[in-house]
Chains A and B, each alone.
Chain A
Amino acid sequence: MLNFIIRRVAQIPLVMLALSLLLFVIIFQLTPEQRAAGYIRSEQQAAQMDSIIRQRGLDKPFPIQYSKWLASTVQGDLGFSRTSSKPVLDTIKERLPSTIELSLYAGIPIVLLGIWLGTLSALNKDRFVDQFLRVIAVLGTSLPSFVLGIVLLKFLYGSLGWLPGPGQVDVLNQFAVLDPTFKHYTGMLSIDAMLNGRWAVAGDVLRHLVMPVLTLVIIFSANILKVMRAQMLETLTSDYVRTARAKGLGSKAVNLKHARRNALLPIVTLTGFVAINLLAGAIITETIFAYPGVGQWVGDAARNLDISAVMGFALLSAVIVVVISTLTDLFYGVVDPRVRFD
């Protein structure tokens, strides 16, 4: 297993190199003027376009631009993000914990709810519960997250006032979290607030998380529900389940211990994808709810053609994909002991 992990970790730089080369080739298809547009916000700045191209070296040949970027990246300098007005690495360090926090709060309910509802749906095949859940699954998979997010915002915040509005904390707590006595241990604000004993702040952060988490849960758990239902239905008709029933095992034991455990195998893979997709899903969700994570930043960066930011995010994504794929494969072995890593 150790060899497997080492092999996977060793792949990371290679994947990143290939990805960066590919991205650079794609970006290089744009003209220097198109790339310089990322530095321009008005007609007045556009008047200086030639100087911008010259000063940024955007008119240099591909090998020079790529090698310059690679050399600085290898030294740990991912460049300056015009979107965040900070170095890319500092931006990632500042914002990634918030995205992880959102992904954790959303990811666990997504998987648990998806598995539970999928199981429930399969066990009640063609009954009202099943039909109802299938409708929910269709809605969840077909609703774009920006539509769902805005609808939730309009009703739960705007009309009913049950939940707080966009942002991570209320105005008062915004000042409180910037108090130098407030220690930022993890960068995840709800956890840091708890570690600081600031329960009101933690509560405020959690209340602000409800809508973005709800949006992600509705969108992503629908997929797991559908796959889980299909897997359960298949497993429930398999020979070993029939055998288990014939042996006189109770339906609870048959359904949950024998059928569900086997039905979970594809869910492990799907969970890996969910974790990866949460990062992409965060781009929309964080933008709608003004949540200060990497998703919001990279969404803006892509719109502004902030090349350093896009490249930095691509590298971060590569790391995350390789790490999660490795963990998924390892977890696959836990669920199914027949899987070997040799």
Chain B
Amino acid sequence: MKLKHTMLLTALLLGSAAFAATPKDTLVLQQSNDTPTLDPTANYDTGSANMIENMYETLWTYKGNSLREFTPLLATKVPTFTNGGKTLTVDLRKNVKFHSGNAFSCDDAQYTFERNLVTNSAESGNWFLAEALTGTQSNANDDKTVTWDKINKAVACNSKGQLVFTLPKADPAFLAKLAFSGQSILDKQWAIKQGEWDGTEKTWKDWVGKDVQGSNLSKNPSGTGPYQLVNRDANALLFKAFAGYWGGKPAIQNVIVQKIPELAARQQAFLRGDADLIEAGSRANIEEQLKGKPGVVIVDGLPNTTATGIFMNENIKASDALGSGKLDGNGIPANFFSDANLRRGFANSFNYAQYIQDVQQGKGKQRTMLLPDSFPGYDAKIKTYSYDAAKAKSYFQKAWGGNVWKTGFTLNADYRAGSVAAQTAMEILKKNVEALNPKFKINIKAKQWSEMLNDSKQGKEPMIIIGWAPDYADADNFMYTFYSSNGYYFPRSNWKDAAVDKWLDQARATVNTAERNKLYSQVANRAYEQAPYLLVPAGVNVFAVRDNLVGATAANYNPMLGSSSLYNGSPWKVLSKK
């Protein structure tokens, strides 16, 4: 079968490509990224996600460029919760084939989610599926409450062939979690034939925590998606349109993904028309090297789903970072940032417009909360801080009963080595704060990422700049992470607000959207008052595309897709060439 396919492909290509740099029915993509895995269970990076999204299918996906609406894929409709948000019953599509030729059934879906829960390796994104279905982020090795019985009951097929999820408690983010490409449906028979887990209780323990990145399924994938893998070598992946695809024949018949590590090489190939889409680097790279060149179209003004903040740690646990450790001008006390007036002073000292101009080439947006503005739950009406030296001075004068203004301080702050954006942000802040009072000193220095990760986790960093990218399009993924005292970032900020904790817990316990939105607005308002973070403006995404490529538009751009960070943020099946 493989021989016939490849010969056919070659013949097709030779016919169609005689006069074109890239053939009309072939999409050529160039990226610096590796493709770490083609096994959805192990997928947790954009490089893998982009391939998996086109080969496999989830039960539903994001509708067009929306992050608030879903459209069914292997489900026939997007279901609604019953039983107080604890049961989700999914009707599955009939007459769907996998690339192997096997027919898709509920058994495949059940196997998929059980495999994800069983393995749940540390590097994978299955922790958030496990949290929803077993009540813990851990696998059975790390948490003994995870039993086969629990996994088996969490996801099952009923007598009508429907897939039934039973959650221990309501999880309003569950629908969004299932849209993540890591939850793509596997071909059970094929997986077992490749030597993967056999799906039984007898062997499940052997697979707990197993890293399946390089699994046999990764080498020989079989999904229900519009494209199937033809072959892969050291630097290229080749795909062809799946003839048996239930969703109709895509216009692009062949896709070749080449690994070209050097940006200059990718740019030259793109300008010459040898590549249709490339990983084009930063906005500056695109605007300076590609914009205005013949055959190039720039698609700008696209949503960005990363939220970045400057953390002000209220309980610094590193004595060496504190200088004198006192409010005497030569250092800071460990709880320096526990005074809201001081935090407001810093928030009013940051020149947001200058950051947008210097780092984002004028294309940035000041957000009201640490949540992407395209996400459900975002409230544009919350007040924001602006650069105002007079206000900043007034807050600094009030901080610590006037002692900060009187004695001054020396603050040691780090930024991630190699990050120009983080360095610039810290330099802007340093300049403006030091200009307020000659006794104010901020020392900034670069630090390796791994070191910073470790120190910040232990609460040793007084002030750092970090971002968060979404796992799934739900406000909880950001709001809980940043603002809850049980959230992932708490050890870095040590900001605890009892009301905020309560609101965030309430928001993750109800599936009522209006109620959740209200709660998130309350959190954002409180965060504005208390200023636990300094909100760094969000960039605006942009990509470059060859002018003969049709469908690579803002209307098809979804920032939750793996391709949003590399190419044009849309599935290959919506593209064609003229």
Q: Which residues of A contact B7 (CB under 8 A)?
A: 179, 181
Report whether B231 and A55 are in contact in the complex, using a CB–CB cutoff of 8 Å: no
Q: Which residues of A contact B23 (CB under 8 A)?
A: 171-172
A109 interfacial by beta-carbon distance below 8 Å:
no
CB within 8 A of A37: which of B37, B218, B449, B469? Answer: B449
B498 interfacial by beta-carbon distance below 8 Å:
no
- Whole-angstrom distance from the CB of B478 to the nearest CB of chain A? 11
Task: Look across to chain A and name the residue whose beta carbon is closest to the beta carbon of B268.
Answer: A158
Report whether B488 and A85 are in contact in the complex, using a CB–CB cutoff of 8 Å: no
Q: Which residues of B contact A51 (CB under 8 A)?
A: 122, 138, 142
Report whether B6 and A178 are in contact in the complex, using a CB–CB cutoff of 8 Å: yes
Q: Which residues of B contact A172 (CB under 8 A)?
A: 10, 13-14, 17, 23
Q: Which residues of B contact A34 (CB under 8 A)?
A: 448, 450-451, 454
Q: If the complex has contacts A34-B450, A44-B471, A52-B123, are A175 and B34 also in contact, measured as CB distance less than 8 A? A: no
Report whether B258 and A45 are in contact in the complex, using a CB–CB cutoff of 8 Å: no
Report whether B450 and A48 are in contact in the complex, using a CB–CB cutoff of 8 Å: no
Roughly how many angstroms separate A37 CA and B454 CA in the complex, as a whole number?
A: 10
Roughly how many angstroms separate A287 CA and B238 CA in the complex, as a whole number?
A: 21
B547 interfacial by beta-carbon distance below 8 Å:
no
Roughly how many angstroms separate A98 CA and B234 CA in the complex, as a whole number?
A: 10
Which of B269-277, B366-374, B420-428, B531-539 has 4 or more CB atoms under 8 Å from chain A?
B269-277
CB within 8 A of A84: which of B209, B234, B453? Answer: B234
Q: Is the interface of A mostly helix, strand, loop or mixed?
A: helix
When each residue 144-170 of chain A gets 1 if its CB lies under 8 Å from chain B and 0 otherwise, what string results?
A: 000000100110011001000111100
Report whether A296 and B261 are in contact in the complex, using a CB–CB cutoff of 8 Å: yes
Size category of the binding interface on chain A: 35 or more
A33 interfacial by beta-carbon distance below 8 Å:
yes
Task: Look across to chain B and name the residue whose beta carbon is closest to the beta carbon of A41.
Answer: B45
Report whether A44 and B469 are in contact in the complex, using a CB–CB cutoff of 8 Å: yes
Report whether A85 and B214 are in contact in the complex, using a CB–CB cutoff of 8 Å: yes
Of B214, B218, B235, chain A has the most CB atoms within 10 Å of the CB of B235
Report whether B269 and A174 are in contact in the complex, using a CB–CB cutoff of 8 Å: no
Report whether B22 and A85 are in contact in the complex, using a CB–CB cutoff of 8 Å: no
A135 interfacial by beta-carbon distance below 8 Å:
no
CB within 8 A of A43: which of B22, B234, B469? Answer: B469
A94 interfacial by beta-carbon distance below 8 Å:
yes
Q: If the complex has contacts A172-B17, A290-B258, are A166 and B34 also in contact, measured as CB distance less than 8 A? A: no
**Would you mind naming 17 contact pairs between A and B with Cβ atoms under 8 Å apart?**
A44-B125, A45-B123, A48-B122, A51-B138, A52-B122, A150-B265, A157-B268, A158-B271, A158-B272, A171-B23, A175-B13, A175-B256, A179-B7, A181-B7, A288-B265, A290-B261, A292-B233
The 4 residue pairs across chains A and B that have the minimum distance between CB atoms = A51-B122, A292-B234, A37-B450, A158-B268
Which B residues lie at the A interface, using CB under 8 A?
2-3, 6-7, 9-10, 13-14, 17, 22-23, 26, 28, 34-37, 44-45, 121-123, 125, 127, 138, 142, 209, 211, 213-214, 218, 230-231, 233-236, 238, 254, 256, 258-262, 264-266, 268-269, 271-272, 274, 448-451, 453-454, 457, 466-469, 471, 488
